[in-house]
Amino acid sequence: MRVAYVQPAYPQEMPRFLRGLVEVGAEVIGAGEGPPPDAIRPMLSGWVEIPGYTREDESVDILARALDGRGVDRVESLWEPTVILAARVRERLELPGMSADTVLGFRDKQLMKERALAAGARVPRSRRATTAAQLRAAAQELGFPVVVKPIAGAGTATTWRVDDLAGLDARLPALAQVAEVSVEEFVVGDEHTYDALCIDGVAVLESVTRYYPPPLIARNEEWISPAQMTYRNPYVAPLMPGIALGRRVSQGLGMQTGIVHMEWFRTARGEAVLGEIACRPGGSKLMDMWNLAQDMDIYREWARAACWRSFEGVPQRAHHVGVVFKRARGQGRIRAVHGLERLRAELGASIVEEALLPVGAPRRDWKQTLLSDGWITVRDPDHDRCRWMMERVVRELQLDAG
């Protein structure tokens, strides 16, 4: 099995999927901007340098020519900006996998909602806008508050709740470089993910994570320590509407083999409403949390599914897993970490990962990274204890910068 893997070095989870491909017996040709990083070279049998996703047409031509005649069986990409690029190369080389039009349904947020609605899913009312005038008209038609987000965006760095026309006008400068936006009904509810590994459109492994608070709030309030918890067993009554929604939307959009990451809202009435869905893994530690909750290797199982249409994982449903991301107070370099020793002493082995910036390291731009200035991961078989530990980390752990 020979696999071309587009963008195998970034973001940080991508080399783990590359490792999974090698472990299931695939020979991997990588493709990306510049030369391959030293850390992944031993796992590659070849490399194709491409201009990147901002020059998609040129990258598709270069990669398709480089791979033609080399016996490639699959072309894969798991990074949001390059999933269509990979699909176009597959089409050019007549290889199996989702078409560019199918993948577009997971990238274009307005098309996504239209296709999901046609499949019978509950989606927010929305409009597409390419000008300030269209944006204002859409917001007034839908009624404030609304959510404004890029049509082809990922994450929530340029997604906002807008409460009135004055607030909308204040956001226009930040949207000046965005070609199209989606203006959406604001849905009130707890926000969750639905993550699934699919083979030929059927979910063979599913996971649900809840955000504390919803990302739209966490990404716009610096003082917040964003947190999230992956459930050990997603098949419980309050979560089943979201699982049913995830299955319906995945199938309605034509998902074949790979990982889907969907965000959805659970309203006060228990209704599941689509946020958005992508045909790639979730970021911000979600794949690692999935592994820790199930005591298995999602990176290897994705690779096995992609190469052989097979799944051999045995999910244990052993632990609830919580991650708390910390943002330092102040600007400059990290100068102190408070509360960590006490948490270590009290929580012990329940802390399964510490990844805080060390003293002396420059603070990260909290607007540009979901991982903030580091994180703490905890897990426990008991839901309430896992939540209690997360709350302890939120309250008692603090990084100072200056």
Q: Is the pLDDT of residue 332 over 90?
A: yes
DSSP secondary structure string, 77-142? E-SGGGHHHHHHHHHHHT-SS--HHHHHHHH-HHHHHHHHHHTT-----EEEESSHHHHHHHHHHH
190-318 matches 319-402 in fold: yes
Q: CA–CA separation, 249 vs 80, rounded Å?
A: 18
Chain segment 27-49, per-residue pLDDT in tens: 999 999 999 999 999 999 999 99
**What's domain 190-318's superfamily in CATH?**
ATP-grasp fold, B domain (3.30.470.20)
Determine the pLDDT at residue 122. 96
Report domain extents, the chain. Answer: 2-97, 125-185, 190-318, 319-402
Determine the pLDDT at residue 178. 85
Pick the CATH number of 2-97 from 3.40.50.20, 1.10.1740.10, 3.30.2420.10, 3.90.1660.10: 3.40.50.20
The CATH architecture one would assign to domain 319-402 is 2-Layer Sandwich (3.30)
Fold classification of 125-185 (topology level): Dna Ligase; domain 1 (3.30.1490)
Average pLDDT over residues 232-248: 98
Q: Cis check for the bond before 226: say yes or no (omega within 30 of 0).
A: no
Determine the pLDDT at residue 210. 98
DSSP secondary structure string, 179-199? S-EEEEEPPPSEEEEEEEEEE
- Which of 217-221, 284-288, 367-371 has the largest mean confidence? 284-288
Determine the pLDDT at residue 1. 97
Chain segment 122-149, per-residue pLDDT in tens: 999 999 999 989 999 999 999 999 999 8
Q: With contact defined as beta carbons under 8 Å apart, do 357 and 374 qualify? A: yes
Determine the pLDDT at residue 372. 92
Average pLDDT over residues 267-276: 96
Q: Is the pLDDT of residue 156 over 60?
A: no
Q: Alpha carbon of 327 to those of 37, 119, 276, 365: distances in Å? A: 29, 40, 26, 9
pTM of the model: 0.93
Determine the pLDDT at residue 157. 61
Q: CA–CA separation, 326 vs 225, rounded Å?
A: 5
Determine the pLDDT at residue 278. 97
Determine the pLDDT at residue 115. 97
Q: Is the pLDDT of residue 155 over 70?
A: no
Chain segment 244-265, per-residue pLDDT in tens: 999 999 999 999 999 999 999 9
Chain segment 65-106, per-residue pLDDT in tens: 999 999 999 999 999 999 999 999 999 999 999 999 999 999
Q: With contact defined as beta carbons under 8 Å apart, do 210 and 82 qualify? A: no
Q: Of the given ranges (13-22, 234-243, 262-271, 365-374), which has the lowest mean pLDDT?
A: 365-374
**Location of structure tokens 């420059």:** 362
Q: Which residue type sits at 155?
A: G
Determine the pLDDT at residue 368. 87
With bands split at pLDDT 50, 70 and 90, how would you rate the model's confidence at 174? confident
Average pLDDT over residues 58-66: 98
Q: Is the pLDDT of residue 154 over 70?
A: no
Q: Is the pLDDT of residue 191 over 80?
A: yes
